[in-house]
Amino acid sequence: MRIKTLAKAVSSASRAYAEQFHGEYYRITRINYTMPIALYYLRSLDTGNDIATGFYAQELQKQRGDVYKIDGAPLGRRVRNGVREVLVKWKYFGDRHNEWIPEANIVRVF
């Protein structure tokens, strides 16, 4: 999940607004159904901290769990057990999440 932030005007002459989302990823820890509209409580995947306030469904954006963005170029390259690997820094995640992954797993998306 990602959290929607304040909307930003597309241009100064336009009345249209573009939805903005935080880059950080979250996991839903619980859902409060006692309110007329469900509230979702989240935990940061980067820091592991719980977010104190709840969010409505329209404030969240579901993300595929198997595809993440790499922040810039690979930090290093190596061959381990005959497999070419690259050291990547994941976008929106701290340095403690940097990891070696097989180079074949990187997909370029335009």
Q: What's residue 6's pLDDT?
A: 43
Residue percentage of the chain with pLDDT more than 90: 19
Contact between 73 and 86 under an 8 Å Cβ cutoff? The reply is no
Q: Quick one: DSSP state of residue 105?
A: G
**For domain 64-110, which CATH number applies: 3.90.660.20, 2.40.50.40, 3.40.50.1970, 1.20.1250.20?**
2.40.50.40
* Domain ranges, ordered by start, for the chain: 2-61, 64-110
This prediction has a pTM of 0.58
Could you tell me the pLDDT band of residue 110, with boundaries at 50, 70 and 90?
Answer: low
Structure tokens at 16: 């249209």
